Amino acid sequence: MTAHRLEFRGISKSFGTMTVLDDISLTVNDGEFVTIVGPSGAGKSTILRLLTGTEKASSGDIVFDRQPLSESAATFAFMPQRDALMPWSRIIDNATLGLRVQGMDRKAARAIVKPLFEPFGLAGFENYYPAQLSGGMRQRVALLRTVVQKHDMLLLDEPLGALDALTRTQMQEWLQTMWADHRWTALLITHDVREAVFLSDRIYVLSPRPARIIREIHVPVPRPRKLADLADASVRDIEADILETLLHRPS
């Protein structure tokens, strides 16, 4: 039987008279990479804010490991679109920040983070400052800071959105490899359909606001994936299908 970690059951959310989310039901299974794609302003970030506790649903239930989220001890590691690194702190201190906030002392936090500098392509940059790193490297620091935190699920809000196209593509390939190695349970939000197809096991497509789920698409491409897989006809069909849904949404 599939192990759902996260379930949204009929979630709606309004701000005043404006309905943003309308009867959203979705699941994320253990070790699964799920992506939500949708038009700008549809309500994608609001979905993540319901999980981080910044917003509350107007109706419906959020369940984590079969418990209401409000009663569960689930922890989410959240990575925002901007890297949000502290410019005055060295990379090692930025990378350990999440662990320090969770109460770990500096030595223990460094011991966890340091071995990951190599696989994250950051070896030798421990004592640099964020301004001395490229955009792609800064995003890797932000992701490193996110994944080392004690978490049940990663929440990624357009984590590559601020990068140029080439760096973004390189980061997608790198992120895919990292995910294949670690199998974090992950919920990604993106506008980028190719990115969604390349990274995900499953994709939910949202309508414009008020956001409803209008498609759920499985991506049956074996892992590990290579960028060349995107050229495969079956993958291009999935991408075209999602774009068609977004552009000419069925009622």
Q: Which one among 3, 10, 15, 183 touches ligand ATP, defined by CB under 6 A?
A: 15
Amino acid at 53: G
Q: Tell me if 159 contacts ligand ATP by CB under 6 A.
A: no
- Taking the complex as a whole, the smallest distance from the CB of residue 73 to ligand ATP amounts, in Å, to 26
Pairing type for strands 76-79 and 153-157 reads: parallel
- Taking the complex as a whole, the smallest distance from the CB of residue 38 to ligand ATP amounts, in Å, to 6
Q: Tell me if 42 contacts ligand ATP by CB under 6 A.
A: yes
Closer residue to ligand ATP (CB): 139 or 190: 190
- Taking the complex as a whole, the smallest distance from the CB of residue 216 to ligand ATP amounts, in Å, to 18
By CB under 6 A, the count of residues binding ligand ATP is: 11
Closer residue to ligand ATP (CB): 32 or 158: 158
Closer residue to ligand ATP (CB): 49 or 202: 49
Cis preceding linkage at 87, omega within 30? no
Closer residue to ligand ATP (CB): 29 or 81: 81
Measured in whole angstroms, the distance separating CA 1 from the mean position of its chain's CA atoms is 25
Closer residue to ligand ATP (CB): 141 or 206: 206
Q: Tell me if 194 contacts ligand ATP by CB under 6 A.
A: no
Q: Which one among 26, 28, 35, 44 touches ligand ATP, defined by CB under 6 A?
A: 44
Q: Which one among 6, 11, 20, 37 touches ligand ATP, defined by CB under 6 A?
A: 20
Q: Tell me if 46 contacts ligand ATP by CB under 6 A.
A: yes
Degrees to nearest 5, angle at CA 69 with 66 and 71:
90
Binding site for ligand ATP (CB under 6 A): 15, 20, 38, 40-46, 209
